[in-house]
Structure formats: structure tokens, C-alpha cells
Amino acid sequence: MQNIKAYVEQNKQRFLDELFELLRFQSVSADPAYKPEVLKTAAYVAQKLRDAGADKVEVCETAGNPIVYGEKIIDPAKPTVLVYGHYDVQPPDPLELWKTPPFEPTIRDGKIYARGACDDKGQFYMHVKAFELMMQNGGLPCNIKFMIEGEEEVGSNNLGIFVKANKERLKADVVLISDTSMLSMENPSLETGLRGLSYMEVEVTGPNRDLHSGVYGGAVANPATILAKMIASMHDENNHITIPGFYDDVIDLTDDERKALNSAPYNEEEYKKDLDVAELWGEKGYSTLERTGTRPTLEVNGIWGGYTGEGAKTVLPSKAYAKISMRLVPNQGWVKISEIFTKHIEKIAPASVKVKVTTHHGGEPVVTPTDSVAYRAAQKAVAESFGKQPIPTRGGGSIPIVALFEAELGIKTVLMGFGLDSDALHSPNEKYDIYNYYKGIETIPLFHKYFAELSQKS
Ligand code: BES
Ligand code: MN
Ligand code: MN
């Protein structure tokens, strides 16, 4: 595999064209209206795996969106890498904030703007192209399996079922995922942990119908006000979460771990400037890197009720709603947290309203090992391709299925992401740098090479 760079150089335009084609599919998993597009995307991914040389490629039906599977076994005695990614994307809303349409990929300033450009189409497709490169350019150093799903952005429930039912087929020595961020291209890094998630919805009901806010206002509890109060009460003056028992299972980091984490390059002024905020906010006693990487949080993702249309309508709404998620850290369990959240809301709700709490989905937090052959292979690959040792970091995001791979298949994961936090994942104008795309395609074959080499020695 001497000619990695040359192969990428020769096929640059095609690699980009194919990614653009993939980005044009509107594979939004949150809204069933996009189902036909989701199915087309899965078929496209399957075809591209076949074209690249994969065997046993299959679009596996589930109760939800299909999972694309493919593999190339060169020698059962050699180690096997299971590549996981997701072809589904977040809804593109709010549409009016996109400079160019979300499903018409556009290049500006060396960056590809499109929904899914970074999360995760741009990133998983690097693996498909790296696989093609290895097949065309000296062969695979180890076995490879692909599992690209279509429901990551909605909790991967059907993938969980698929994994449990396909343990033999998914047997591998490591799971390799590119769906996380690096600190920057100058400071390459590898995430070594992901937060868990518990996603809840709260419905508050006041009177049995919307009321005239003048005729009844002042005499009947307004569910929107009550909901806002309940939400506000869940953080104290130190921005600590007030739900009883919330922190019970959290394992605090040692001083050494905190020190290591805080030694990563981080510029608070740039961080604030990028987001256009005058001040940061968070749990007292922790740095920004600790707050996002190692501490549990509670966020309101959406809140609504009453009249939100054009102009003004005087109304005391019958109902108000909020979608609330909690990010979890090692040793917290998402089912338990969902239960104590529900109990807490039921307890603090005044008698003037009724509350209904439902659980959407969840996933457990994970810490990935840094003393494994696979992690060392990723370190070597990144170091060689970026000319700098990668810094281990803790990511704030969640990929719920990672904990399940470990629990069900007994396989640990390496998170070798090439995105940036500033790539606007889930936001309008999501982007991915073309440079990162090619850099990823060059780095991945090195991972396979070193993983095969180091596995043999160990
Ligand atoms: N790729 C992200 C997770 C991520 C992003 C991890 C950046 C680390 C750095 C993934 O697609 C995602 O958005 N996951 C969801 C969870 C899911 C259950 C909706 C998340 O983190 O909100
Ligand atoms: Mn993702
Ligand atoms: Mn995402």
C-alpha cells in the first residue's frame, strides 16, 4: 500500500462526486415522510459497497429503516474490523437559515455544505472509499465487515435487535467508527468516550380546552408557565441538576485524569466567538472540556404550547410540552435516570395541572480503551497521516449503539472521527472540509495496516 496518496489523487473528483450523490438523498430518519428517500439511500450504499468489492452485500430489513451489511473476508485467521456508520441524517430545519439548500451539496471555501456532510455520510463514506482503495491497491491487510444503519439519529432501536440476532455474522475484533470530532486539523485527536443519553418528553395539561386569556387568566394555572417553572427548577444556582439521585452513580475523575483532559488545547475566547456568546455557562467547579466530556447534563431540546403562529392571539393554552434530554456519564444507567426524571416531574407538578412523561429513547455512556491494539493502530495511523500524535479526548455526543456492541458482541470500539465540532452537526449549514474527507480516506488504510501488524505481534 505504498500508493495511498497517489490513488486518492487520481480518484479525487470521483470520490467527491459519489459523496455528493449520497448527500442528495433526503434520508431523514425522524420523519416517516422521508421513508422512500431512506430506502433509496440504503440501496445506493449497498451498490457502492458491491462496486468497491464487498461480498454478501445485503439491505437488511428491520421494523424501521434498513441496515446495509457487506463484508470481505480474506482469511478467517486474520483479524476482522467491523466498520459502523449511519446513512440517516437529522431533519434539516430550520430551512430558511441554510445559505444553500441542505440536500443540494455545495462547495464554498473548500468545504462541502449539506445535511449529513459530516454526520455521518461524509465520514462513513470515507470507509467505503478507503476499502475500494485497499482492494485496488495491494489488497486488504485484514478482514472487514460493514454495518451502515439508518436510525442512529433516532436511537438505533432496530439496530439493537439486529445485533442481538446476528452475533455470528457480526463477529469481529474491533468496531471502527468515524462519527466523532477532532479538536482541529492542527491538533488531531481521538475520542475515548461518549456520553449516554436519556430522551424524555413532558406534557403538561391545565384546563380541558384553550381558554380566553382575559376571561380566565389569573384564575387558572397556565400549563406553559408551570412547565417553564418546573424546567427552571431542575438547575440550582451552581447549575447543578436538582433531581434527587441524579448524580448517585457518577464516578468522579481522578485528579490526574482531570489534569490530562484539561491539557488539551482549548481557547475559550475563540469558543465564545464562534458561538457569539458573551459568557459561557455550566456546572460550577468544572472546565468546559470537563462539562462536555465528563459531566452529566440536562437540556431542553424544544418547548412549545399555545399560539406560536403569525401575529398575536390571546389564549391560555390547555397544554404545554417540552422535549428534554439528559447526557449521561460512565456508570449512570439511562433506564434508571429516565425513571427518576419521571418520578421527579410527577412529584414537583402542582395539583393545578396533570403531567404525562414519556421516554423516547436512550443509550448508555461508554469509555473506550486506550491500551488496546486497535487504539494503538489508530494512534499510529493518525500520527503518520497528520504528522502529530493524536490527543485522547472525551466527546460530549452520544452513539448509543457503542455500549451495546460491547455488551452484546463483546467488542470494543475505536472512535476515529475526522469531523470538527464547528462543522455544525444538527444545525443549519452543516459542513465537512474536503481536506478532511481525503485525509480520512488516506488515514483509514493505515489503520487497517497497523491493526493487522500489531495484532500479529500481540
Ligand atoms: N455523530 C453524532 C454523535 C457525536 C457527534 C459524537 C460529535 C461525538 C462528537 C451522532 O450522530 C449523534 O448525533 N447522536 C445523537 C444521539 C442519538 C440517540 C440521537 C446525539 O448525540 O444527540
Ligand atoms: Mn453521527
Ligand atoms: Mn448526529
Whole-number Å distance, alpha carbon 179 to ligand 2 midpoint, is 5
Query: Are residues 360 and 30 in contact, defined by beta-carbon separation less than 8 angstroms?
Result: no
Beta-sheet pairing, 67-72 with 143-149: antiparallel
Q: Which residue stretches of 210-366 are H helix? A: 223-232, 255-262, 268-275, 288-293, 334-348
Dump pLDDT digits (tens) for 250-286: 999 999 999 989 999 999 999 999 999 999 999 999 9
Phi/psi at 44 (5° precision): -65, -45
The confidence score (pLDDT) of residue 2 equals 59
196-250+296-363 under CATH 3.30.70.360, yes or no = yes
Q: Distance between CA 325 and CA 50 in Å, rounded? A: 39
Cell of 32: 416517516
* Residues annotated as catalytic (active site), given as ranges: 88, 152
Tell how far the Cα of 353 is from the centroid of ligand 3, in angstroms: 35
Give the model's pLDDT for residue 126: 98
Query: How do residues 392-441 score in pLDDT, each as one tens digit?
Result: 999 899 999 999 999 999 999 999 999 999 999 999 999 999 999 999 99
Domain 4-194+366-457 has what CATH class?
A: alpha beta
Between CA 213 and CA 223, with CA 218 as vertex, the angle to 5 degrees is: 70
Domain ranges across the chain: 4-194+366-457, 196-250+296-363
- Report whether residue 399 contacts ligand 1, using a CB cutoff of 6 Å: yes
Distances from the Cα of 351 to the Cαs of 209, 226, 229, 347, in angstroms? Answer: 17, 11, 14, 10
User: Measured between alpha carbons, how far is 177 from 100 in angstroms, rounded to an integer?
Assistant: 29
Please give the Cα distance from 197 to 328 (Å, whole number): 6
Give the integer Cα–Cα distance in Å for 52 and 209: 59
Which residue from 29, 22, 334 is spatially nearest to 159, judged by alpha carbons? 29
Taking CA atoms only, the protein residue closest to ligand 1 atom 9 is 180
From residue 27, give the alpha-carbon distance in Å to each of 44, 116, 149, 400, 428.
12, 9, 11, 19, 16
SS3 303: strand
Cis, peptide link before residue 94, omega less than 30° from 0 = yes
Q: Let me know if the fold of 4-194+366-457 is the same as that of 196-250+296-363.
A: no
| Ligand 1 neighbourhood includes 178 CB (under 6 angstroms) | no
Going edge to edge, which strands form the sheet with 319-328?
A: 297-305, 319-328, 196-205, 354-363
d(Cα 79, Cα 87) in Å, to the nearest integer? 26
CA of 431 to the centre of ligand 1 (A): 15
Helices 373-386 and 434-457, packing angle to 10 deg:
140
Single pTM value for the model = 0.94
Instruction: Give yes or no for residue 153 CB within 6 A of ligand 1.
Output: yes
Ligand 1 atom nearest the C-alpha of 362 is 18
d(CA 129, CA 112): 17
What is the reported pLDDT for 457? 78
Closest ligand 1 atom to the C-alpha of 199? 18
Q: Which residue, by CA, sits nearest to atom 16 of ligand 1?
A: 398
State which residues of the chain have pLDDT below 50.
Answer: none
